[in-house]
């Protein structure tokens, strides 16, 4: 399991080919539409994203060159009838007096002044005009049948079959509940965090992570491992989606929970906190939306579902040797280094978790990895994160619920109470919650408040879903016999 330590222009479309000179009586036809030029590629931030290929141009129909006027055979001598006066031909639509080519039309729009597409082939001679008008009603009746026959035989007859969606209206609105609507509302309340270690720590180090507005006073909720490098004399800043950047300071952080609270310096007025949901009511299969700065690409939105609930996760920052524990929400929304601390939203836009860790292919153990997402992301449930945040804002330090017993972290058949505690101390704290409940060294805790426990990390994750003073039910085995007792959780202050 790994946590993130946040840390061409496309070718222009070709112009319409020039038509050869034509007699004034045979004006050239206007092109169907102007070609579409490619757009600039996307540039990366921390890690350069690959250039986006230019949009593929729809093939523009080439205007066939006008055939030169045919030479007529010589007329034998004899009386010649007077030539009838031929009225001048009006200029072709779209030409006006500007000559060839006509003004280019935008992509998807007809050329200015161009006639509507006809329901018959073009190129009829003037001499057939009366016949064509006379047959218009008949052509209208059989056109559908002919079109169907041509489609079945793969013969388009040289007529384009593309369909234009037209210009999107300026006031186009996304329906509430769509990803676009949720993202549009949430993005102004999400920040990209930059952390730099203090100069006193040697060579400055830093990283990029994410956070979100927790309240109107300017508190930002994020992961501890995002800001840990700058917590002691370093520099922190938060940049909003509109590009405005503010200095920030650490109000409090909880390494065990992997939660931290920042405060913006000179916080702007009108901050909009993200609405907090209820992570206890989340169901497997619910839609999720993650917002963050993967590899420095700020304001990135990804989607997925809740893949599992109450997933016991122990994650580390790869440097301190200390782990964080959570009973996590698992999601397949793409989460990468830089997403840490960002919100995991439900379909209504409410925060249900804080993105914190990923499982990376080929990663070893619980350390730091810069590998990408494989669809296994983990978020701290917001109900737990909210309790921690309120405590940090109130006192500046975390408070952990405890059972007063040291358990082995490597066993996989339950949480085994160790033979002794840290530094040779007693494994079961005298007069602590576990001692009062009758637990002893060697006991194997198999259930906690009705939920199965298969290891020490799982037990800690479940304990930290509660508050000090909560009464819970503990099931354990001793000498092969299973027993159940009630236990009132104690507390531990700080990350000592």
Active site residues: 225, 258, 340
Answer yes or no: are the C-beta atoms of 304 and 288 closer than 8 Å: yes
Residue/partner pairs of 261-265 with CB below 8 Å, 24 or more apart: 261/214, 261/219, 261/220, 261/221, 261/222, 261/389, 261/392, 261/393, 262/193, 262/211, 262/219, 262/220, 262/222, 262/227, 262/236, 262/238, 263/217, 263/218, 263/219, 263/220, 264/218, 264/219, 264/220, 264/238
Residues 6+ apart with CB under 8 A from 35: 13, 14, 15, 16, 57, 60
Closest CA to 257 of 78, 386, 439: 386
HEC string of 367-396 equals CCCCCCCCCCEEEEEHHHHHHHHHHHHHHC
Q: CA separation (Å) from 387 to 152, 174, 259, 326, 398?
A: 66, 34, 10, 13, 10
Contact 314, 299 (CB under 8 A): no
Residues with Cβ within 8 Å of 236's Cβ and at least 6 positions away in sequence, in order, are: 193, 194, 195, 196, 227, 230, 247, 248, 249, 250, 262
CA 349 to chain CA centroid, nearest Å: 13
Whether residue 434 contacts residue 424, with contact meaning beta carbons closer than 8 Å, is answered with no
Angle (CA) 454-460-466 rounded to 5° is 120
DSSP letter at 128 equals: G
- CA separation for the pair 37, 63 (Å, rounded): 19
| Chain centroid, CA 56 distance in Å | 24
Q: What angle do CA 142, 145, 147 make, to 5 degrees?
A: 105
Task: Give one DSSP letter per residue of 229-267, joined into a string.
Answer: GGTTT-EEEEEETTS-EEEEEEEEEETTTTEEEEEETTP
Q: How many CA atoms lie within 13 A of 85 on its CB side?
A: 2
Which tokens in the block code for residue 131?
A: 């016949």
């Amino acid at each position: 399991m790994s946590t993130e330590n946040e840390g061409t222009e496309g070718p222009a479309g070709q112009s319409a080919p020039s038509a050869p000179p034509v007699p004034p009586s045979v004006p050239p036809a206007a092109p169907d539409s102007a070609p579409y030029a490619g757009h600039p590629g996307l540039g990366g931030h921390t890690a350069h994203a690959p250039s986006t290929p230019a949009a593929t141009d729809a093939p523009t129909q080439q205007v066939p060159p006008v055939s030169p006027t045919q030479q007529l055979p010589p007329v034998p001598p004899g009386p010649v009838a007077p030539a009838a006066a031929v009225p001048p031909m009006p200029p072709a639509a779209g030409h006006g007096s500007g000559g060839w080519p006509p003004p280019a039309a935008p992509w998807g729009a007809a050329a200015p002044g161009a006639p509507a597409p006809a329901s018959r082939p073009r190129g009829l001679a003037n001499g057939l005009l009366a016949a064509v008008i006379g047959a218009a009603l008949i052509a209208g009746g059989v056109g559908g049948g002919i079109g169907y026959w041509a489609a079945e035989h793969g013969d388009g007859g040289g007529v384009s079959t593309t369909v234009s969606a037209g210009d999107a209206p300026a006031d186009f609105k996304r329906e509430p509940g769509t990803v676009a609507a949720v993202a549009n509302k949430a993005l102004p309340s999400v920040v990209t965090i930059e952390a730099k270690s203090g100069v006193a720590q040697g060579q400055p180090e830093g990283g990029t992570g994410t956070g979100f507005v927790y309240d109107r006073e300017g508190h930002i909720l994020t992961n501890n491992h995002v800001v840990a490098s700058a917590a002691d004399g370093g520099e922190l800043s938060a940049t909003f989606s509109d590009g405005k950047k503010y200095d920030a300071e650490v109000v409090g952080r909880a390494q065990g929970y992997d939660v931290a609270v920042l405060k913006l310096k000179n916080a702007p007025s009108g901050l909009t906190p993200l609405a907090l949901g209820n992570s206890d009511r989340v169901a497997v299969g619910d839609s999720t939306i993650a917002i963050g700065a993967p590899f420095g690409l700020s304001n990135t939105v990804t989607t997925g579902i809740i893949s599992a609930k109450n997933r016991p996760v122990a994650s580390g920052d790869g440097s301190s040797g200390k782990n964080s524990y959570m009973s996590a929400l698992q999601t397949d929304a793409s989460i990468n280094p830089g997403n840490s601390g960002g919100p995991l939203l439900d379909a209504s836009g409410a925060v249900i978790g804080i993105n914190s860790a990923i499982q990376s292919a080929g990663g070893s153990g619980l350390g730091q990895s810069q590998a990408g997402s494989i669809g296994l992301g983990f978020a701290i449930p917001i109900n737990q994160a909210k309790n921690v945040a309120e405590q940090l804002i109130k006192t500046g330090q975390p408070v952990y619920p405890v059972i007063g017993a040291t358990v082995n972290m490597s066993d996989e058949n339950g949480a085994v109470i160790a033979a002794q505690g840290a530094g040779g101390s007693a494994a079961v704290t005298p007069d602590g919650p576990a001692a009062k409940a009758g637990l002893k060294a060697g006991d194997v805790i198999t259930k906690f408040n009705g939920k199965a426990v298969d290891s020490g990390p799982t037990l800690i994750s479940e304990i930290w879903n509660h508050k000090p003073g909560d009464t819970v039910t503990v099931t354990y085995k001793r000498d092969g016999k299973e027993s159940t007792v009630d236990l009132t959780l104690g507390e531990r202050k700080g990350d000592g």
